[in-house]
């Protein structure tokens, strides 16, 4: 799953600032499917935003479940993003108040997308209301600690790089309000091909590459067609594969996950220049990273995630939330206490006289199945409601935990209990590594 916007717009000057004498602000974030989700207040409304270094201006969407939010100085515009769809109608709003703990901007421009189909909350398992990027990266040195899920926004005049020895410092090129870094990619253990990559914290994938036969960037023979994610203008499809290696500075990733998006998804992007692709969260989360736009530098320091294997969807199943459903459970607590654990979408629980608890819990459904995958061959269908995996009732788990259950390791047998047309059905399949060499 990947959310990629790559949207540019030049507007009036605005600036995020800290109070006089305050050097930095630390913010905790949620890391969901390699995406950074931060709390943000807009005109006193408390919202969740994805921190996306690939987006130019803040974009607000998915307000259906919110109380009202007041927008200032509104006009109508059309905007483009990734995906094969047509430009969409949006609102341009200026003079808004943004707040991130002590960080303030009382004159911020944003765009409001009114299309209800642009809603990433079901796929991430928590309410997501928008994306924000360049304005924060421009005004601060942004120190992202993927290990402990915190970000420090530092006033550039107070920033000092204290741990140079273990860092790898690379040059950043800022073009059209986006940051690019140079790297290398190797195909089939051949010589390294230099590539220029957009640094995109709003992409959950590892590396995207644009096919360029003249430069030696070509889709490896071993690949499969897949849904890559959703952009502002529609779904993005392409070819998913592995490359021999990806290199950023001194750091080398062997047998790295990669994808080649269908280029019609980029039809709204007029000029790629010398860009060859994107490096996203699946690689970025393996480092603690300092973005220093003011000096055109980025500092990498590997963290505890560095050695994690690249994960592929071995089941072929995509899942998402689809509203809520009631479940009935017998009460076993001798004290008769109904426990209400905090959940992203909330629970409503009713205690019946016969010691049965009715709980209103998130419903998780199959939102897509890759053709020819183990789940497809087993008979799962889009729209099936997931009830249990390997005997575990999934309402007790977060969406990303459920996805991990059905993609744990190659060769694992997965048994899925689903509901289809008010009937419970069980399907079994074995997880398959499509890139594993056959004996």
Mean pLDDT computed over 334-351: 47
Asked whether the predicted pLDDT for residue 300 surpasses 90, the reply is yes
Q: Residue 196, SS3?
A: strand
Asked whether the predicted pLDDT for residue 57 surpasses 50, the reply is yes
Q: In this predicted structure, what is the pLDDT of residue 439?
A: 47
Is the C-alpha dihedral spanning 269, 274, 276, 278 positive or negative?
negative
* Separation CA 264–CA 68 (nearest Å): 37
Mean pLDDT computed over 366-381: 94
Candidate ranges 61-75, 86-100, 125-139; pick with highest mean pLDDT: 125-139
Q: What is the pLDDT of residues 229-268, one digit of tens each?
A: 877 666 788 999 999 999 999 999 999 999 999 877 665 5
Residue 16: burial class (beta carbons within 10 Å; 0-12, 13-18, 19+) = buried
Mean pLDDT computed over 41-50: 94
The whole-chain average pLDDT of the chain stands at: 85
Q: Of the given ranges (166-175, 320-329, 341-350), which has the lowest mean pLDDT? A: 341-350
Choose which CATH entry (2.40.70.10, 3.40.50.10070, 3.30.70.20, 3.40.140.10) describes domain 3-132: 2.40.70.10
Is the C-alpha dihedral spanning 299, 302, 307, 309 positive or negative?
negative
Q: In this predicted structure, what is the pLDDT of residue 342?
A: 40
List, in sequence order, every residue forming a beta bridge with 31; answer none if it has no partner.
36
Name the DSSP class of 286: T
- The H or E element that residue 361 is part of is strand 356-369
* Separation CA 181–CA 291 (nearest Å): 11
Q: In this predicted structure, what is the pLDDT of residue 150?
A: 98
Mean pLDDT computed over 164-172: 84
Asked whether the predicted pLDDT for residue 2 surpasses 50, the reply is no
**Nearest Cα residue to 365 out of 348, 387, 343:** 387
* pLDDT over 90 percentage in the chain: 62
User: Domain-by-domain residue ranges, the chain?
Assistant: 3-132, 158-302, 317-430
| Structure tokens that stand for 203 in this block | 């992409």
Q: In this predicted structure, what is the pLDDT of residue 165?
A: 64
Task: Tell me the fold of 158-302.
Answer: Cathepsin D, subunit A; domain 1 (2.40.70)
Confidence of residue 7 (pLDDT cuts 50, 70, 90): very low
Mean pLDDT computed over 52-81: 78
Answer whether 232's CB lies under 8 Å from 61's CB: no
Q: What is the pLDDT of residues 122-148, one digit of tens each?
A: 888 888 999 999 999 999 999 999 999
Q: What is the DSSP string of 111-180?
A: EEE--TT---HHHHSS---EEE-HHHHHHSEEEEETTTTEEEEE-GGG------TT-EEEE-EEETTEEE
Q: In this predicted structure, what is the pLDDT of residue 10?
A: 45
* Separation CA 160–CA 153 (nearest Å): 13
Q: What is the pLDDT of residues 178-237, one digit of tens each?
A: 999 999 999 987 789 999 999 999 999 999 999 999 999 999 999 999 888 877 666 788
**Nearest Cα residue to 300 out of 256, 253, 241:** 253
Mean pLDDT computed over 302-306: 95
Asked whether the predicted pLDDT for residue 319 surpasses 50, the reply is yes
Answer whether 370's CB lies under 8 Å from 377's CB: no
Q: Of the given ranges (7-11, 171-175, 238-242, 308-312), which has the lowest mean pLDDT? A: 7-11
Asked whether the predicted pLDDT for residue 168 surpasses 70, the reply is yes
Confidence of residue 78 (pLDDT cuts 50, 70, 90): confident
Q: CA–CA distance from 167 to each of 53, 249, 288 (Å)?
A: 21, 10, 9
* Separation CA 23–CA 152 (nearest Å): 10
Same fold across 158-302 and 317-430: no
Mean pLDDT computed over 304-327: 88
- The verdict on domain 317-430 having CATH code 2.30.42.10 is yes
Q: In this predicted structure, what is the pLDDT of residue 85?
A: 55
* Separation CA 366–CA 203 (nearest Å): 22
């Amino acid at each position: 799953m990947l959310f990629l916007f790559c949207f540019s717009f030049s507007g009036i000057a605005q600036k995020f600032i800290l109070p006089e004498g305050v050097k930095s602000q630390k913010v905790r974030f949620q890391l969901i499917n390699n995406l950074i989700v931060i709390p943000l207040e807009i005109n006193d409304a408390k919202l969740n935003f994805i921190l996306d270094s690939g987006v130019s201006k803040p974009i607000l969407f998915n307000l259906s479940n919110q109380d009202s939010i007041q927008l200032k100085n509104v006009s109508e515009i059309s905007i483009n993003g990734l995906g094969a769809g047509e430009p969409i109608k949006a609102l341009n709003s200026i003079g808004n108040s943004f707040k991130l703990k002590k960080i303030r901007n009382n004159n911020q421009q944003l765009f409001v997308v009114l299309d209800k189909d642009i809603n990433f909350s079901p796929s991430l398992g928590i309410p997501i209301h928008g994306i924000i990027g360049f304005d924060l990266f421009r005004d601060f040195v942004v120190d992202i600690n993927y290990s402990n899920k915190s970000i420090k926004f530092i006033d550039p005049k107070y920033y000092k790089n204290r741990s140079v020895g273990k860092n790898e410092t690379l040059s950043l090129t800022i073009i059209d309000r986006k940051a690019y870094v140079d790297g290398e990619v190797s195909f089939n253990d051949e010589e390294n091909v230099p590539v220029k990559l957009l640094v995109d914290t709003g992409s959950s994938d590892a590396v995207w590459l644009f096919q360029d036969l003249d430069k030696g960037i070509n889709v490896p023979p071993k690949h499969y067609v897949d849904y890559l994610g959703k952009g502002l203008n529609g779904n993005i499809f392409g070819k998913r594969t592995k490359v021999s290696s990806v290199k950023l500075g001194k750091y080398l990733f062997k047998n790295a996950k990669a994808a080649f998006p269908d280029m019609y998804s980029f039809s709204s992007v007029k000029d790629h220049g010398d860009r060859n692709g994107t490096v996203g969260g699946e690689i970025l989360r393996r480092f603690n990273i300092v973005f220093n736009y003011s000096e055109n530098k980025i500092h990498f320091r590997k963290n505890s995630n560095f050695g994690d294997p690249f994960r592929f969807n071995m089941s072929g199943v995509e899942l998402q939330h689809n509203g809520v459903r009631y479940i009935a459970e017998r009460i076993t607590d001798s004290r008769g206490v109904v426990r209400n654990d905090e959940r992203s979408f909330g629970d409503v629980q009713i205690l019946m006289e016969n010691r049965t608890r009715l709980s209103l819990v998130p419903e998780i459904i199959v939102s897509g199945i890759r053709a020819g995958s183990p789940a497809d061959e087993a008979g799962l269908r889009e729209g099936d409601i997931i009830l249990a995996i390997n005997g575990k009732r999934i309402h007790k788990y977060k969406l990303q935990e459920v996805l991990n259950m059905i993609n744990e390791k190659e060769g694992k047998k997965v048994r899925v209990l689903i509901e289809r047309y008010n009937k419970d059905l069980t399907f079994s399949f074995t997880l398959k590594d499509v890139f594993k060499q056959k004996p």
